[in-house]
Amino acid sequence: MDFLIVLAIVGIFFAWRLIPTKGIKQISTADLKKQLQDQSKQFIDVRTPSEYKINHIRAFKNMPLHTLSTQAEQKLEKDKEVIVICQSGMRSMKASKLLKKQGFKNITNIKGGMSAWY
């Protein structure tokens, strides 16, 4: 019985982490392709520099997740939409939540990340 309670708590914890935060949009890579030419948006890739160097989408600037809180304050405009991508969508969701806490209002996460790009 205790095992089931622990299993349920662990399941709820992981499900809670995957639920999108209010105010953060989720779009597919197909939707992203329609927006890449929009100069009013800020495109951020939060993967490591080595991952970014191997393959990236030209419109995206590399701001690794571990440096994002500092770089966001210095290099991003809070009144412009920020579109965030990583390899699978997990780090970009974490980055999106971080940006939301920093006061960014219009944040979009790419579902599936670079893995879904092809």
pLDDT of the chain along its 118 residues, tens only?
677 787 777 766 665 555 556 779 999 999 999 999 999 999 999 999 999 999 999 999 999 999 999 999 999 999 999 999 999 999 999 999 999 999 999 999 999 999 999 7
3-state DSSP of 48-108: CHHHHHHCCCCCCEECCHHHHHHHHHHHCCCCCCEEEECCCCHHHHHHHHHHHHCCCCCEE
Examine the residue annotation and report whether 65 is marked as an active-site residue of this protein. no
* CATH of the domain spanning 2-116, picked from 1.10.3660.10, 3.40.309.10, 3.40.50.1980, 3.40.250.10: 3.40.250.10
Of 32, 86, 95, 114, which one is the catalytic site residue? 86
Single out the residue of 48, 54, 50 nearest to residue 66, CA to CA: 48
Q: What is the pLDDT of residues 78-95, one digit of tens each?
A: 999 999 999 999 999 999
Q: What pTM does this model have?
A: 0.82
Domain extent listing, the chain: 2-116
CB 25 within 8 A of CB 108: yes
